[in-house]
């Protein structure tokens, strides 16, 4: 319902595999335990956090954005709180053997072909920025999932195009990040 209220189509929701993690903070844990995943595998996945007494789903009660590698394998997740009072609007998977945020662009798995056809990239900050453009036919777009563009990002992006248009948010953070990114 939330995505529909923001005018995202069902096709886009399916394409990006957007979902919602239940308010029950142990639902995913119980599901994976029933599937006989080992405790070690679940710890290494980065999907769980622990308190003094228990493990719980890192992303519970959040809109979920699967993050894919260039080959379309899910390697991480981002979660957006739908509660405006939550201090952490977005949280990301922790670094794992599969996921290093400095080496990943959100949307590259879907955009790589269009980038090579168009011969330029539009670089945006966030998930919704990218999905909105993609839904409106602009598909040569990548997101850095924040404002930290790294040297590793620069090395990866140059493999696809050296023509890059930075379209970060118009707030102070976005403007500063756009300048830093331009010099990277």
Q: Give the up-direction half-sphere exposure of residue 74: CA atoms within 13 A in the CB hemisphere.
A: 13
Stretch among 30-34, 44-48, 58-62 having the lowest mean pLDDT: 44-48
- Angstrom distance (rounded) from CA 132 to CA 138: 9
- The residue ranking higher by pLDDT, 60 or 164, is 164
Residue 69, classified by CB atoms within 10 Å of its CB into exposed (0-12), middle (13-18) or buried (19+), is middle
In angstroms, the CA 67 to CA 102 distance is: 13
pLDDT, averaged across the chain? 91
Ranking 45-49, 74-78, 142-146, 152-156 by mean pLDDT, the lowest is 45-49
pLDDT tens digits, one per residue of 96-143: 888 999 899 999 999 999 999 999 999 999 999 999 999 999 999 999
Work out whether strand 48-50 and strand 141-143 pair parallel, antiparallel, or are unpaired.
Answer: unpaired
């Amino acid at each position: 319902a939330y995505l529909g209220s923001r005018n995202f189509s069902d096709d886009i929701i399916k394409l990006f595999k957007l979902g919602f993690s239940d308010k029950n903070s142990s639902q995913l844990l119980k599901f994976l335990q029933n599937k006989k995943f080992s405790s070690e595998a679940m710890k290494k996945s980065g999907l769980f956090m622990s308190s003094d007494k228990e493990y719980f789903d890192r992303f519970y009660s959040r809109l979920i954005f699967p993050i894919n590698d260039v080959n379309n394998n899910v390697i991480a997740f981002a979660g957006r709180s739908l509660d405006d009072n939550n201090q952490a609007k977005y949280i990301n998977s922790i670094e794992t053997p599969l996921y290093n945020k400095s080496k990943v662009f959100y949307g590259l798995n879907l955009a790589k072909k269009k980038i090579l056809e168009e011969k330029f990239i539009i670089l945006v900050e966030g998930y919704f920025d990218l999905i909105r453009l993609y839904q409106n036919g602009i598909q040569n777009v990548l997101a850095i999932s924040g404002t930290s563009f790294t040297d590793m990002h620069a090395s990866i992006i140059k493999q696809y195009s050296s023509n890059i248009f930075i379209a970060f948010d118009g707030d102070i953070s976005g403007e500063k990040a756009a300048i830093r990114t331009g010099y990277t």
